[in-house]
Amino acid sequence: MPSRLVSVIKRIESLPHDKNKRLIDSFADFMKNIDITEKYQKDNLFVIILYARYLGDRELSDVDRKQDIIEFLDTRTKDTTIDPDQRWIRTWNYYLQRMLLR
pLDDT at 102: 53
Percentages of the chain per state (helix, strand, coil), in multiples of 5:
70, 0, 30
Q: Do residues 46 and 2 lie in contact, with contact meaning Cβ atoms separated by under 8 Å?
A: yes
pTM of the shown model: 0.86
* Residuewise pLDDT in 10s, the chain (102 residues): 557 999 999 999 999 899 999 999 999 999 999 989 999 999 999 999 999 999 998 898 887 778 888 999 999 999 999 999 999 999 999 999 998 865
